[in-house]
Amino acid sequence: MSYLLVLLILLIPSPVSYTSEKGECDAARVRVVEKVGKKAFLKRTAFLADFAREEAYALTVRPGRILIEAATPTGAFRARKSLEQMRLEGDRIPCCTIFDYPRFRHRGLLIDESRSFKGLDFLKKQVDAMALLKLNRLHLHLTDAAGWRLRIEAYPALTDKAAWRIGERYIDWQNAGYPFATATTTGAYGGFYTREQMKELVAYAAERHVEIIPEIEMPGHSMEVNRTYPEMACETSDGKALPFSWDLCPGRDETFTFLETVLSEVMEIFPSRYIHIGGDEAVMKDWPRCVHCKARMDAEGYTDVKQLQGYLVRRIEAFLRSKGRTMLGWDEILETGIPEGAVVMSWRGTSGGKKAAAAGHDVIMCPTAYCYLDYYQDLIRKEPKAVGPLNSLHRVWSFEPAEGFSDLDAGHILGLQGNLWCEWVPTVSHAEYMLYPRAFAIAETGWSPRGNDTFEGFRPRAVSLCKAFRSLGYNTFDLSTESERAQSRCYEVGRQGYQVIYQEKGGVTLSYYHATPARVMIFDGWAFLDRNGNEALDLFEDWRKQPGERSDDYYRLTGERIPPEKFASGEFDNPANAKPL
């Protein structure tokens, strides 16, 4: 393999501009010169947005010298990381010239520490990987029903009692009735971060130009708070506290004292501009029978308990703004009156992001169908248990954050983020397996100009970088075993009675009549109905396979047994509706 090919394969994200030159250099021996903040480079990058100029760099590799030029130390750091990637296969690298800068300012990963506690060494290791990939935001999900992971001095019971549980896996804890424990309880699982540990991590990440964004969930996902401090939970008219309530009580003044105190301690640790408050999946089932919530509704003139969430979100946003911070929340905060300065993370598809941007709010795109890294990355029969349908490397790479936005609204897109939730990811090695290589695709989309490359060009680079990551001690998914189905991709736009299929380039490749709206996949030159809606071709959807195979696969995926003879007879589906391309 030529050195030039090694460079082109390994560099993820791909640079804005790359020019090969004659010769090669020994990077271990050659002199590396940095020029930061020089007028010539500042003039060269004057056309860029401020965030892009801050991270822009030029890298010139010659036999006798490597020159790094940048406007800021951050840009120089990005250049060194490109050079580090180029050296992963050896010190002798081809001469070249690179000019590079990011497309989006927010290029992030979320790691869920509440459902599965992984520890400081793990987080530092992922920060190292992020730096190598030019990812710059680590979103830590620190609190949830399954565990409170950050020591709060004013409320020590949060970690004394709610950082430990019985059941390493979330599902085991759930099935056992949500038993919490203490650190000394036999069989206890969990842990938490001290203030000093988090400050250490913040400093470690800052040295690598990664900012850490903490998330403190509210009002939903808060059973651990109510269990620990039941005097703050919702209360019925007969004086009965509801410590198993999923939501905080927005009627109690004590709730806001608690939240402001917690957030004050959080802001002492994390200097990030953004503080994430969650805001998602509040069930609100206890609010209608809570005397404090009823009193709050009467005082505010509310007629619907959903208005209480908007009250809490707006009050907390004002508090954070008074401290010079910006509130970040999941797209549910749009439903109950979003504060003017809040930023939205669009996870339930892309519609939340579009709605927020149209209203003048900045957005970060992380829709489940592309950016959730706890979903399967290959066929269900060969992968460990996961939460959702197929989000293969190709699927993640295919995401275009600005698709469907007007040019004006697209200006509100801060970037994108891959989210690794850990209900089904109990170990460090499993977490890395789910992160890589799909985090490579998040990095590529967040940094590189769209249209610079094809998936056929990206995938070999991902294969090589996986090998390099494994040599660095990361447990990655093995792309050499990835099925052809996971590598395929299609889109559909449909309405009842007519279905139009779009493939990668956006051109219409197939249309045919179908009686009801249907998802259709393109595979091996054929169109197939996606009967279970997981956007992956399963054997039961492929009439070229044996009826028994199709029946078994349908049962594994859905739990419903369809007799093989139905597949054999065509009673279950009608392949005559499909046409080869």
Catalytic residues: 144, 221, 281
**What are the tokens at 375?**
């979903």
Cα separation, 454 vs 41, in Å, equals 30
- Answer whether 277's CB lies under 8 Å from 260's CB: no
Q: Are strands 274-278 and 326-330 parallel, antiparallel or unpaired?
A: parallel
At 159 the three-state DSSP class reads helix
Give how far Cα 534 sits from Cα of 129, 178, 486, 511, Å: 30, 30, 12, 21
| 538: DSSP letter | -
Q: 66-87: buried (b, 16+ CB within 10 Å) or exposed (e) per residue?
A: bbbbbbbebbbbbbbbbbebbb
| 497: DSSP letter | T
At 317 the three-state DSSP class reads helix
| 270: DSSP letter | -
Give how far Cα 466 sits from Cα of 85, 88, 193, 437, 438, Å: 12, 11, 30, 6, 10
- Answer whether 574's CB lies under 8 Å from 520's CB: no
- Which DSSP string do the residues of 347-361 spell out, in sequence order? -SSSHHHHHHHHTT-
* Integer Rg of the chain from CA: 26
Give the CA angle between residues 417, 465, 201 to the nearest 5°: 50
- Answer whether 276's CB lies under 8 Å from 326's CB: no
